[in-house]
Structure 1
Amino acid sequence: MSLHPSLQSYADAWTHSIEAISELVTPLVEGEWNRATPCPGWSVRDIVSHVIGLDCEMLGDPRPIHTLPRDLYHVQNDHQRYMEMQVDVRRHHTAPEMTSELEYTIIRRSRQLRNESREPGAMVRGPLGTEETLEFAMRKRAFDVWVHEQDLRVAVGRPGNLDSPGAYVTRDMLLAVLPKVVAKDASAPANSAVVFDVHGPVEFLRTVRVDADGRGTIDGAPSLGPAATLSLDWETYVKLACGRVTPDAVYDRIKTEGDLDLAQAILHSLSTTP
């Protein structure tokens, strides 16, 4: 048996992004691994450590036994502490150690994916002792690796791959949470609609509709009288939704129409990554 067809797009997206990450960081000299990235609190080395660590967990490797320092300002909750463990344990690794472990992890994970025979609904280990389906875990890995590829591209000044396979997985992951963002987090009024018009390498027009009970749904049909419309480019949308920038920092790249207070509330609720 081989990888289930419904999982292949996630494997392809992961492969594309992980190979791009390897290409980005392999030429870096030691000092460049300490460059800051848009991901709060993490350097280039930290992001690569995170990517390695989570793929090792997908392989079933045991998590490191390690005590975190108390002065990590960006670590505020259990989820962040969980993620920081794989990062902090590698903070003093050299550039050759990092690239070697990355390449070895890519080889192991690629072999695992080629031989993967489990069904999409098979349960696998998730963060903090949770369980999740294999399909969700692979979709989340493709999303995570693409977002971190973009973090690294910003850090090393090599933009690109904004429309690669991982970008479309990311689009779908971010769209899935938009109804909650609009209806619950931003408290859009009942019986209203909000339109998102995103342009650039990845384009989409989506309408989030809030029903009489305050529940949100999303579709691709335009709304004739939306409460608010938000127009922005794909890169800005990703950076907002992944908490890489604040709305105030990119306000000149966003066009809002209709209820401006609601639009502001949505923009400030858009960041949904832990």
Structure 2
Amino acid sequence: MILPDRAAPVLVADRFPDERVALLGMLRSLSPAEWSASTVCAGWSVKDVALHLLAGDLGKLARGRDGFAAPPGTVPLPSPTDFASLVKFLDALNARRVRELRWLSTPVLVDLLAATGPALHAYLAGLDPFEPGERVSWAGEAPAPNWLDVAREFTERWVHQQQIREAVGRTGPVEPHLLHPVLATFARALPRALRDADAVAGSAVLLHVTGPAGGQWYAVREQAAWVLHEHPPSPPAATVVLDQDTAWRRFTNGIDADAARERATLTGDAALADQVLQAVAIIG
């Protein structure tokens, strides 16, 4: 069964070229000192984050487009079955991949990102958005439709570009056509965040993100689980209002729940509202 979702799908395959153009333009402008600058990713420099993006492109193309399974012994840990183990597994795998790519020069790294970007876009744009795709673990246990897997890939690249930009004092890209789909994708973390919340069937929780890229998303308690909806069947039992900058940072653990709470407006059921602030849309 595909992960249930009753809100509008986030179709972003056509946004990848714009994101990559912005990334490459910024990377080509960096000085050697800026390439070495520390980022919010613990222990990673700007170059390391860019290497992580390259590894992500290569992995998605090899695994998804080419159907290639890594030979035995090339993955450092066995495939985990629980979320905590998955976090540990992916953290170790990502760190290993970055270490193994550090010998690349920054011009070669940029050239490779310029080559993998169009290849990745062509692959993702050719997928049927509504066929089952890879599981998006922070959204739920069931397989996700391709559109959510593709949207997750887009958020990864957008967020890491923001982390690089902040490390070197560069702005952008926060235009609504790029940031809104990021926020709409992150909203898919709400049902999992609310999974243990005590609420009767039909209860709704509203996340309202303000700003040009913002929007409104409702998590509704159905008989078996919480499900994201475009419109609730009843007035929300709790509402959380965040500005768009706070929202994406909270969903990616850039700020903690306490910091987000200080910037948020919470109304209604306090316990349900607090669960919304626990939602994260990354692993690690």
Q: TM-score range by the shorter chain?
A: 0.7 to 0.9
For residues 27 and 250 of structure 1, the distance between their equivalents in structure 2, rounded to whole angstroms, comes to: 33
Instruction: Tell me the equivalent position of 1:104.
Output: 112
Q: 1:231 to 1:223 in 2, by over 3 A?
A: farther
| Alignment pair present for 1:82 and 2:93 | yes
Instruction: Tell me the equivalent position of 2:185.
Output: 173
Higher RCO, 1 vs 2 (CA within 8 Å, ≥6 residues apart): 2
Cα offset, 1:264, TM superposition: 2.2
Q: 1:251 to 1:37 in 2, by over 3 A?
A: farther
**1:149-164 pair list within 5 angstroms:** 149-164=161-176
Cα offset, 1:246, TM superposition: 0.4
For residues 26 and 200 of structure 2, the distance between their equivalents in structure 1, rounded to whole angstroms, comes to: 47
Aligned amino acid, residue 250 of structure 2: L
Cα offset, 1:231, TM superposition: 0.5
**Contact 1:10/1:169 (<8 A) preserved:** yes
115-124 vs 81-90, which moves further = 115-124
Instruction: Tell me the equivalent position of 1:210.
Output: 221
**1:29-108 pair list within 5 angstroms:** 29-60=31-62, 77-91=88-102, 93=104, 97-108=105-116
For residues 124 and 214 of structure 2, the distance between their equivalents in structure 1, rounded to whole angstroms, comes to: 33
Q: 1:179 to 1:123 in 2, by over 3 A?
A: closer
For residues 47 and 109 of structure 2, the distance between their equivalents in structure 1, rounded to whole angstroms, comes to: 12
Consecutive unaligned residues of structure 1, counting only runs of 5 or more, are 1-8, 69-74
Residue from 8, 14, 17 that aligns with 1:15: 17
For residues 59 and 272 of structure 2, the distance between their equivalents in structure 1, rounded to whole angstroms, comes to: 40
Q: What's the TM-score, normalizing by structure 2?
A: 0.73
For residues 146 and 60 of structure 1, the distance between their equivalents in structure 2, rounded to whole angstroms, comes to: 21
Instruction: Tell me the equivalent position of 2:26.
Output: 24
**1:181-260 pair list within 5 angstroms:** 181-182=193-194, 184-185=195-196, 187-191=197-201, 192-211=203-222, 213=223, 215-221=225-231, 225-260=235-270
RMSD: 3.5
Kindly report structure 1 stretches of 4+ aligned residues shifted beyond 4 Å: 61-68, 111-119, 121-127, 131-137, 222-225
Consecutive unaligned residues of structure 2, counting only runs of 5 or more, are 1-10, 78-85, 137-142
Aligned amino acid, residue 155 of structure 2: F
For residues 217 and 122 of structure 2, the distance between their equivalents in structure 1, rounded to whole angstroms, comes to: 35
**Contact 2:39/2:167 (<8 A) preserved:** yes
Aligned amino acid, residue 50 of structure 1: H
Q: What's the TM-score, normalizing by structure 1?
A: 0.75
Cα offset, 1:65, TM superposition: 6.1
Provide the identity percentage: 22
**Contact 1:229/1:258 (<8 A) preserved:** yes
